[in-house]
Amino acid sequence: MIFPLRTSRWTRFLTSTTGPFEAEVADDVVHVRMGWVGHAEVPIARIARITTQRWPWWAGVGVKIAKGMVAFVPAPCEGVVLEMEEPISVHAPAPWTTQRVLVGAEDPAAFAEAVAARRAALS
């Protein structure tokens, strides 16, 4: 399932990129893509916890490295935090290691539900 990331009329200008801005929940991995500025491949089996967190406007937009996480946020939003059992490598835009990935999905509840369902199916 493909979930678009929340955007605003300023997204393309502020991130200096065109899409895709999306998160795809595949069989065993969540693919997060934000054009050339970053992407992540999050193994669903390594997700320990799924929570939400508000990403404020003043924290900026794009692929952001913040307090122990990498956030994929084309616009301020309620994001879904995927917390891993161990660190993974993401492209933000250079390689970076993190245990928490925040995904600014347009429909955070549906995205979190899809990830949780795949996680349960893999258990």
Render each residue's pLDDT in the chain as its tens digit; 123 residues.
Answer: 999 998 776 666 556 666 688 999 999 999 999 988 899 999 999 999 999 999 999 998 889 998 889 999 998 999 999 999 999 999 998 899 999 999 999 999 999 999 999 999 998
The reported pLDDT for the residue numbered 13 is 56
Q: In the chain, what's the furthest Cα-to-Cα distance?
A: 41
- Residue showing tokens 């390689």: 95
- Give the range of the structural domain holding residue 105, as residue numbers without chain letter: 2-122
The reported pLDDT for the residue numbered 32 is 97
Interatomic CA distance for residues 4 and 1, integer angstroms: 10
Work out how many domains the chain is built from and give that number.
1
The reported pLDDT for the residue numbered 67 is 81
Interatomic CA distance for residues 51 and 122, integer angstroms: 19
The reported pLDDT for the residue numbered 7 is 79
**Phi, psi angle pair for 63, to nearest 5°:** -100, 115
The reported pLDDT for the residue numbered 18 is 67
Distance of CA 92 to the CA centre of its chain: 11
Q: From the CA atom positions of the chain, what is the Rg in Å?
A: 13
22 burial via Cβ count (<10 Å: 0-12, 13-18, 19+)? middle
